């Protein structure tokens, strides 16, 4: 069962009462700097500060009346954990979050603040998975994977429905790519809307596993990635990779300096806070490795969760 435009439209209806319809901003300075007409879809202004709330919300509200009472669970130290905790609280069910014990304090606080029940584990994938299995065995909670889940992919695609509703004649849409949930959902929504829309992803040079996966035709795992874009450390999933292979024109890598420069420019000129992972999508335009001049380009600003005490330009 593949995710379709119809699934995304259904997700949009399902989550409409709970999410923000985020604004689309334009910025003259950015347009001049990059040479395109850029439309910024501000998912940094989404609840919990990231598009992740869309997918989590769709997954939580897709649970049947029988499934729901056991709650949901996941292992994540990032925005998905916060998103799942808030969506679960809205539905009135528990969210069990497995987090590595070295996760930043702000992230622990945020998940706890949304009512998530945290179980800490060693910071290895093995520990995360075995701890999660234990939580499931104890609680019967429904696992909601951060991206390799059709309900989540459909939810992430809803941002693009809104974007195209506001700006129907986009030539290109750019998203960042980590595990590929946002990119997959975006591509299905956009290609379903108009097959000619080009889908391009930005990925950190220092975590270029998706770029290499596309070249090699198989999922290349992300091994010890070292980038400031801490939302893009994961590998593609078995559900997201085939979608991306089919729909995505190109994955463009962005340097660390390009990420930082694009991020700072958006803060200074657009006056909105975006996290490094969101800046990666802007970085595709910023570094001009591909020619998008004169085109109408939608950019999904994926999130705005940043530790204000540690900014990359300081």
Is residue 62 part of the annotated active site? The answer reads no
User: Contact between 304 and its own copies (CB under 8 A)?
Assistant: yes
Q: Minimum distance from CB of 148 to its own copies (Å)?
A: 27
Place of tokens 């910071």: 123
User: Contact between 6 and its own copies (CB under 8 A)?
Assistant: no
User: Contact between 273 and its own copies (CB under 8 A)?
Assistant: yes
What does residue 25 show for φ and ψ, rounded to 5 degrees?
Answer: -105, 150
Extract the runs of DSSP E, i.e. beta strands, from 14-170: 24-25, 37-42, 72-75, 95-100, 117-121, 142-143
Place of tokens 């530790």: 307
What does residue 158 show for φ and ψ, rounded to 5 degrees?
Answer: -65, -25
Is residue 52 part of the annotated active site? The answer reads yes
Q: Minimum distance from CB of 141 to its own copies (Å)?
A: 25
Q: Of 62, 76, 77, 187, which residue is the catalytic one? A: 77
User: Contact between 314 and its own copies (CB under 8 A)?
Assistant: yes
Report how far Cα 35 is from the mean position of its chain's Cα atoms. 26
18/15 Cα distance (integer angstroms): 5
**With respect to its own copies, which residue has the nearer C-beta, 188 or 273?**
273
Q: Which helix (H) or strand (E) covers residue 298, if one does?
A: strand 296-301
Distance set, CA 134 to CA 56, 96, 97, 143 (Å): 21, 11, 12, 12
User: Contact between 309 and its own copies (CB under 8 A)?
Assistant: yes
Q: Of 41, 47, 52, 191, which residue is the catalytic one? A: 52
Q: Minimum distance from CB of 81 to its own copies (Å)?
A: 17
User: Contact between 105 and its own copies (CB under 8 A)?
Assistant: no
Taking each helix axis as running N to C, give the angle between helix 150-166 and helix 181-193, from 0 to 180 degrees, rounded to the nearest 10: 50
Q: Which of 5, 143, 272, 290 binds its own copies (CB under 8 A)?
A: 272
What does residue 225 show for φ and ψ, rounded to 5 degrees?
Answer: -65, 150
Binding to its own copies in span 28-47, by CB under 8 A: 28, 44-45, 47
User: Contact between 279 and its own copies (CB under 8 A)?
Assistant: no
Size of the site for its own copies (CB under 8 A): 21
Q: Minimum distance from CB of 244 to its own copies (Å)?
A: 28
Q: Minimum distance from CB of 314 to its own copies (Å)?
A: 7
Q: Which residues, including other chains, have CB under 8 Å from residue 219's CB and lie 6 or more apart?
A: 213, 235, 236, 237, 238, 241
**With respect to its own copies, which residue has the nearer C-beta, 25 or 96?**
25
Segment interacting with its own copies, rule: CB under 8 A, options 8-16, 193-201, 229-237, 302-310: 302-310
Contact of 53 with 47, CB cutoff 8 Å: yes
| Binding residues vs its own copies (CB under 8 A) | 23, 25, 28, 44-45, 47, 49, 264, 267-268, 270-274, 304, 308-309, 311, 313-314
As annotated, the active-site residues are: 52, 77
């Amino acid at each position: 069962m593949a995710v379709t435009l119809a699934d995304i439209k259904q997700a949009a209806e399902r989550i409409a009462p709970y999410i923000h319809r985020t604004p689309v901003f334009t910025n003259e300075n950015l347009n001049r700097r990059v040479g395109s007409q850029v439309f910024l879809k501000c998912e940094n202004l989404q609840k919990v500060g990231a598009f992740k709330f869309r997918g989590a919300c769709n997954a939580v509200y897709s649970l049947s009346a029988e499934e729901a009472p056991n709650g949901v669970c996941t292992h994540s130290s990032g925005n998905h954990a916060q998103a799942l905790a808030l969506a679960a609280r809205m539905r009135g069910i528990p969210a069990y979050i497995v987090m590595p014990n070295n996760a930043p304090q702000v992230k622990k606080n945020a998940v706890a603040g949304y009512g998530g029940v945290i179980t800490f584990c060693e910071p290895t994938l093995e520990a995360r998975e075995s701890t999660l299995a234990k939580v499931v065995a104890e609680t019967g909670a429904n696992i909601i994977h951060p991206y390799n889940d059709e309900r989540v992919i459909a939810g992430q695609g809803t941002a693009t429905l809104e974007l195209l509703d506001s700006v129907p004649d986009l030539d290109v849409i750019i998203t960042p790519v980590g595990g590929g949930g946002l990119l997959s959902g975006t591509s299905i929504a956009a290609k379903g809307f108009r097959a000619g829309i080009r889908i391009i992803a930005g990925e950190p040079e220092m975590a270029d596993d998706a770029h290499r996966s596309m070249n090699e035709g198989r999922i290349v795992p992300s091994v010890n990635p070292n980038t400031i874009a801490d939302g893009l450390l994961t590998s593609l999933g078995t559900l997201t990779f085939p979608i991306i292979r089919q729909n995505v024109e190109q994955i463009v890598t962005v340097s660390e300096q390009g990420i930082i420069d694009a991020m700072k420019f958006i803060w200074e000129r657009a006056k909105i806070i975006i996290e490094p992972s969101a800046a990666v999508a802007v970085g595709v335009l910023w570094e001009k490795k591909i020619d998008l001049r004169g085109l109408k380009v939608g950019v999904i600003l994926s999130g705005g969760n940043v530790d204000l005490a540690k900014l990359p330009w300081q």
